[in-house]
């Protein structure tokens, strides 16, 4: 356990910026790991439309079919990705947005759920 804590501390020391998902998580990081406050940013998970640079948007439009939600992360140890797929379908977002997934190839069970929910790319 102490090895894990030391490894995390080493990573925090080397990081230029550390993104926290809440102010509470940020305070814990500052208190338990002694990370400098200036090195941390709170970015709440969620979905919002951000203004884009017209030149970048034009280049992106050439490659992207429509607006999208980007999922970046390793999915092996989590069932949260399946919950994301369910929510993406149940909210109807799949009818107007694409879901881009980065973090390894989709597993067969994930592909099956995507097909079952009708969230596949046309």
Mean pLDDT, residues 74-83 = 76
Using alpha carbons only, give the angle 50, 53, 55 rounded to the nearest 5 degrees.
140
pLDDT at 15: 87
Question: Is the confidence at residue 102, as pLDDT, over 90?
Answer: no
Is residue 35 a contact partner of residue 9, using CB atoms and an 8 Å limit?
no
pLDDT at 59: 65
The SS3 call for residue 44 is coil
pLDDT tens profile 55-75: 666 665 676 778 888 887 777
Question: Model-level pTM greater than 0.85?
Answer: no
Question: Is the confidence at residue 16, as pLDDT, over 80?
Answer: yes
Is residue 98 a contact partner of residue 61, using CB atoms and an 8 Å limit?
no
The C-alpha torsion from 52 through 94 and 61 to 47, rounded to 10°, is 10
């Amino acid at each position: 356990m102490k090895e894990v804590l030391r490894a995390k501390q080493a990573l925090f020391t080397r990081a230029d910026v550390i993104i926290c998902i809440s102010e509470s998580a940020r305070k814990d990081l500052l208190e338990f790991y002694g990370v400098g406050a200036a090195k941390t940013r709170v970015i709440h998970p969620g979905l919002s439309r951000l203004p884009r640079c017209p030149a970048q948007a034009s280049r992106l439009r050439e490659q992207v079919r429509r607006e999208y939600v980007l999922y970046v992360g390793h999915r092996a140890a989590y069932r949260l990705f399946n919950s994301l797929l369910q929510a993406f379908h149940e909210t109807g977002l799949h009818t107007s947005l694409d879901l881009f997934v980065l973090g390894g190839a989709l597993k067969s069970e994930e592909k099956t759920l995507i097909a079952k929910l009708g969230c596949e790319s046309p």
